Amino acid sequence: MNDACSPQPRTLGESITQEMRRMLVEGELVPGQRLSEAALAESLQISRNTLREAFRVLTQEGLLKHAPNRGVTVAVPDMASIIDIYRVRRFIECKALAQGYPQHPGARHMREAVESGMCAREAKDWVAVGTANMMFHRAIVEMADSPRLSAFYGQISAELRLAFGLLKNPEFLHSPYVDMNAAILERLEQGRAEEATHLLEGYLVQSERTVLAAYERSLSR
């Protein structure tokens, strides 16, 4: 994915924060996971002070939780957060797609994400399918031509992946959306952005219902 539209990190702390967001978006860190400061600092080859700076920012963003005497854990989204995430997604993604056109770089990145998702589905690598799905939606937002909006969506993507983590069957969650993504892309490449947007709206409603149902099941466990 081309990150040309994303602000480049200016400090090591910002770079590590961005790296940890990537780990969240790609499912390397999961809801409720306790983060070992020593192990993470060693794997990232940074000082604990630098890591704490990233922890502080991500805690402010609601992606991590810090509890006295318990350390830092990956946040578990609640129902209100999930509903709000999807409200934001519909507002941003549908408007961005509605103004999209086949020659936009975002459309090319959508194509790359669809092909990546299909390959991952063939290999039954459902975590990779989920990551390709996140790439697809980032590419949609790219068509808004707003670096600030793309940066903001990076945070939303991390929260969204945490919501996906509530579902214990990633195949059930991600597999249907590979073909849905392909259908949306096909309409866009044919210059039928309005139809693509209509499909996306229905897609997001279905996805929200699936994630909320998973959240409700998690409460009963």
Query: Which residue range forms the structural domain that includes residue 204?
Result: 79-220
Domain edge (last residue) among 74, 99, 118: 74
The confidence band for 157, taking pLDDT boundaries of 50, 70 and 90, is confident
Please report, to the nearest 10 degrees, the dihedral formed by the alpha carbons of residues 168, 220, 213, 179 taken in order: 10
The predicted structure's pLDDT at residue 3? 47
Residue type, 87: R
The widest CA-to-CA distance across the chain, in whole angstroms, is 56
The predicted structure's pLDDT at residue 8? 53
Q: What is the CATH number of the domain that holds 131?
A: 1.20.120.530
> Which residue has better confidence, 70 or 23?
23
The predicted structure's pLDDT at residue 221? 64
Evaluate if residue 6 carries a pLDDT over 60.
no
In a domain? residue 6 = no
111 and 191 assigned to the same domain: yes
65 and 125 assigned to the same domain: no
Mean pLDDT of 105-122: 97
Beta strands in 64-176 (DSSP E): 64-67, 71-74
- Rounded CA-CA distance 210/18 in Å is 28
The predicted structure's pLDDT at residue 159? 87
197 and 104 assigned to the same domain: yes
Domain edge (last residue) among 74, 108, 127: 74
120 alpha-carbon distance from chain centroid: 17
Handedness of CA 64, 67, 71, 73 (dihedral sign): negative
61 and 83 assigned to the same domain: no
> For 186-197, b where at least 16 C-beta lie within 10 A, e where not — what string?
ebbbeeebeebb
182 and 213 assigned to the same domain: yes
pLDDT tens, 171-218?
Answer: 877 888 999 999 999 999 999 999 999 999 999 999 999 889 888 887
51 and 101 assigned to the same domain: no
107 and 166 assigned to the same domain: yes
pLDDT tens, 84-96?
Answer: 999 999 999 999 9
34 and 85 assigned to the same domain: no
Of 22-36, 98-112, 163-177, the least confident: 163-177
Q: Percentage of the chain surpassing pLDDT 90?
A: 62
159 and 183 assigned to the same domain: yes
Q: What is the CATH number of the domain that holds 34?
A: 1.10.10.10
- Rounded CA-CA distance 156/61 in Å is 10
Q: How many domains does the chain have?
A: 2
| Mode of pairing for the β-strands spanning 34-35 and 64-67 | unpaired
- Rounded CA-CA distance 74/58 in Å is 10
In a domain? residue 2 = no
End-to-end CA distance of the chain: 37
